[in-house]
Amino acid sequence: MNIYQKINEVMKKIEYLTKDDKVEFGTTKYKAISEEKVTTAVREQLVSQGIVIIPIKQESDNKELIRTDKSVNMLTSVHVRYRIQNIDDINDFIEVESNGTGVDTQDKGVGKAMTYAYKYMLLRTFAIPTGEDPDKTSSAETDAEIENEIKNQQKINQNNEENVNALVTEKQANTINVLMKQKGLNVEQQLWNNYSITNPKDLTKKQYASILKAIQNLPNK
């Protein structure tokens, strides 16, 4: 079999993987699938089909982030090219690319970013569904939610001018996190670039309203 046929066999064997992990950070809470689960499931089939995957090129970038509590974090982004090789024919391979980001206060940012990139390379290359995808929320639903939030925020601001400088509620912080992810935005990086913060809960309500307007017409990713 050629490499495409072997990839197809892996796809036949791994039809679905359920999310097995809960991510909680501040007001951010969501389900995820662990790298261990993905790698374990795919590795078995790679060995069975005679496929090896190796990174052949990597580019990385580090950016210093400073949170409001003054602790210093490094945001590491990586862009990796992988070779998916048919072990039965040295000339039979394809190359795919994947991106990943990781935040850490010490030296683990690259490792986290590489893990993220590798996990999603496997999921996308072998078309493995994981369920509970935020993309199941339609663009219309997302836009309606944003529009409703904007109207509510405008009403609150009209009634209390001082309110715009107050910090967002936990619900509003979570709303920003969810909506930005649905639009394909890196939450921490976007908040840092625009407001020098990395956590949605540190937004003021004025900033909250501004973000809602900014992302209103962006397509879901």
CATH assignment of the domain containing 96: 3.30.390.80
In this structure, are 158 and 204 located in the same domain? yes
Residue that finishes a domain, picked among 102, 125, 148:
125
Query: Is there a domain that residue 220 lies in?
Result: no
Q: Domain count of the chain? A: 2
Residue that finishes a domain, picked among 125, 159, 176:
125
Whether 77 and 99 have beta carbons less than 8 Å apart is answered as yes
Query: Is there a domain that residue 108 lies in?
Result: yes
> DSSP of the chain, one letter per residue?
--HHHHHHHHHHH-------EEEEETTEEEEE--HHHHHHHHHHHHHHHTEEEEEEEEEEEEEEEE-TT--EEEEEEEEEEEEEEETT-TT-EEEEEEEEEEEESSS-HHHHHHHHHHHHHHHHHTT---S--GGGS-HHHHHHHHHHHHHHHHHHHHH-GGGGGSBPPHHHHHHHHHHHHHTT--HHHHHHHHHS---GGG-BHHHHHHHHHHHTTPPP-
Whether 39 and 47 have beta carbons less than 8 Å apart is answered as no
In this structure, are 66 and 104 located in the same domain? yes
In this structure, are 38 and 95 located in the same domain? yes
Query: Is there a domain that residue 66 lies in?
Result: yes
In this structure, are 95 and 66 located in the same domain? yes
In this structure, are 119 and 181 located in the same domain? no
Query: What is the model's pLDDT at position 138?
Result: 47
| pTM listed for this prediction | 0.57
In this structure, are 144 and 210 located in the same domain? yes
Query: Is there a domain that residue 221 lies in?
Result: no
Token reading at 94? 């394809």
In this structure, are 144 and 201 located in the same domain? yes
Query: Is there a domain that residue 8 lies in?
Result: yes
Return per-residue pLDDT of the chain as tens, 221 residues: 999 999 999 999 998 888 766 655 444 555 678 888 899 999 999 999 999 999 999 998 877 655 545 556 677 889 999 999 999 999 999 999 999 887 766 667 788 889 889 999 999 999 998 865 554 444 555 556 556 666 665 565 555 555 667 788 888 888 888 778 777 778 887 787 777 788 888 888 888 888 887 776 666 65
In this structure, are 37 and 142 located in the same domain? no
Query: Is there a domain that residue 29 lies in?
Result: yes
Domain that holds residue 91: 3-125
Instruction: Compute the distance between CA of residue 217 and CA of residue 81 in angstroms, rounded to an integer.
Output: 32
In this structure, are 56 and 101 located in the same domain? yes
Q: Which residues contact 209 (CB under 8 A, 6 or more apart)?
A: 150, 153, 154, 157, 164
Instruction: Compute the distance between CA of residue 185 and CA of residue 221 in angstroms, rounded to an integer.
Output: 9
